[in-house]
Amino acid sequence: MAEIRAEITANVWQVVVEEGQMVAEGDEICILESMKMEIPVTTEVPGVVRELDVEPGQTVQEGDRIALIDES
């Protein structure tokens, strides 16, 4: 299992995937917004999205888990 974590404090602007969805390396998981800039959050591993811990409008802090990817 790979954890996708926020690299900065930001607002969740858009969630691009759903739980159970297959993702490839480099796919966007969500888009964060900070200081009017859009910051895409991508996965570095292929697999299945097992858990999504964010929703649009939510604020995340640096290090907060965004998603859990099952690599098997």
> Is residue 4 packed enough to be buried (19+ CB in 10 Å), middle (13-18) or exposed (0-12)?
buried
| pLDDT tens, residue by residue, 7-19 | 999 999 999 999 9
Report which of 54, 42, 51, 41 is spatially closest to residue 1, judged by C-alpha positions: 51
Number of domains in the chain: 1
What CATH number does the domain containing 56 carry? 2.40.50.100
Given a cut of 80, is residue 32 above it in pLDDT? yes
Instruction: Name the 3-class secondary structure at 55.
Output: coil
Domain with 17 in it: 2-70
Token pair 């690299």: residue: 7
What is the pTM assigned to this prediction?
0.89
* The pLDDT of residue 59: 97
DSSP letter string over 10-33? EEEEEE---TT-EE-TT-EEEEEE
